[in-house]
Amino acid sequence: MLKAERHQRILERIQQSGAAVTVRDLAQAFCTSPITIRRDLIELGERGLLERTHGGAIATREVLAEGSARYEMYSYPERHLQQATEKAQIAECAAQFVSDGDSILINAGTTAHALAQALRGHQDLHVITNGLTVAAALSQSHLAHVYVLAGRLDARKQATIERPDSDGFPDIQIREAFLGVHAVCASGIYMRDNEDAAMNRAFVASACLVTVLADHTKLTAHASFRICGWSQVHRLITDPGADAHVLESIRSQGVEVVVCGQDGAATSA
């Protein structure tokens, strides 16, 4: 297990337990040595993600409030490794809803990047994106036409950000928008940055169909700025670890909820 993934799972375990965890329990859970776990806890403690205790650690109040999918404390490469398996499964599932010749929009982020990688075998795609890693992944295929939106560079997200009311934001219309988001709950989809949320609202308005891509950690995460409610979303694709009660609430609002299988197969639930 890579260190970044182990760090994420340690934080998830602490957040879910709501109590102190011990070095011994963590070492057994992740099949690693107590020395490695102690180093992990020291590093996570230095970053303000937990408080060390005698023989273990507890979550900080801030981490408990924001959930296990905390965004801003991680670099893009670290987030790319978190839930990598689930993101790849979601991406393979989402790719099944894209046909050759489609005109689609993919926003920025690590899940969006995974979708771009899953689309390499498609032909004659026209893809609009504000994600630099999305564009880079698609550029490796000569069968896709990629359009990168201009705007301010957000290095943490590897994206361009532009206000929809500015002269630099184009009038676009596409068949389907595929959106990775920071948080999902019964009331809608959210971003942690107001500018980012506003740009994604414009993406929703430009699309005939909207598909949200969210691994299970996004259902326990917190973000402050709503993109839209579920009445504007047609499909949610997630993984088997997603909270069943939240999914049922979303489904009851008329959204197609698709839980991907281990092989990326789409299964409506």
The pLDDT tens digits for 216-246 are 988 877 777 899 999 999 999 999 999 899 9
Tell whether 76 is covered by a domain: no
What are the structure tokens assigned to 34, written together? 């107590």
pLDDT band at 67 (very low <50, low <70, confident <90, very high): very low
Query: pLDDT digits over 27-46, tens only?
Result: 998 889 999 999 988 888 87
What are the structure tokens assigned to 238, written together? 């997630």
Identify the domain containing residue 146 by its residue range.
Answer: 84-268
Listing DSSP states for 22-78 in one string gives EHHHHHHHTT--HHHHHHHHHHHHHTTSEEEETTEEEE-HHHHHH-TT--TTS-HHH
pLDDT for residue 37 = 92
Q: How far is 93 from 239, CA to CA, in rounded Å?
A: 10
pLDDT for residue 69 = 43
**Exposed e or buried b per residue across 119-149, where buried means at least 16 C-beta atoms within 10 angstroms of its C-beta:** beebeebebbbbbbbbbebbeebeebebebb
pLDDT for residue 162 = 87
Average pLDDT, the chain: 85
Q: What burial class does residue 172 get, using C-beta atoms within 10 Å of its C-beta: 0-12 exposed, 13-18 middle, 19+ buried?
A: middle
Q: Comparing C-alpha atoms, which of 63, 68, 59 is closest to residue 216? A: 68
Q: How far is 197 from 201, CA to CA, in rounded Å?
A: 6
Q: How far is 119 from 131, CA to CA, in rounded Å?
A: 15
Number of domains in the chain: 2
Q: Comparing C-alpha atoms, which of 3, 13, 2, 22 is closest to residue 217? A: 13
**59 and 138 part of one domain:** no
Q: What is the CATH number of the domain that holds 22?
A: 1.10.10.10
Tell whether 78 is covered by a domain: no
Cβ 260 vs Cβ 89: under 8 Å: yes
**118 and 64 part of one domain:** no
Cβ 154 vs Cβ 133: under 8 Å: no
**134 and 49 part of one domain:** no
**128 and 242 part of one domain:** yes
Q: What is the CATH number of the domain that holds 133?
A: 3.40.50.1360
Q: What burial class does residue 100 get, using C-beta atoms within 10 Å of its C-beta: 0-12 exposed, 13-18 middle, 19+ buried?
A: exposed
pTM: 0.73
**Residues 6 or more apart from 233 whose CB is under 8 A from it?**
188, 189, 204, 210, 211, 212, 255
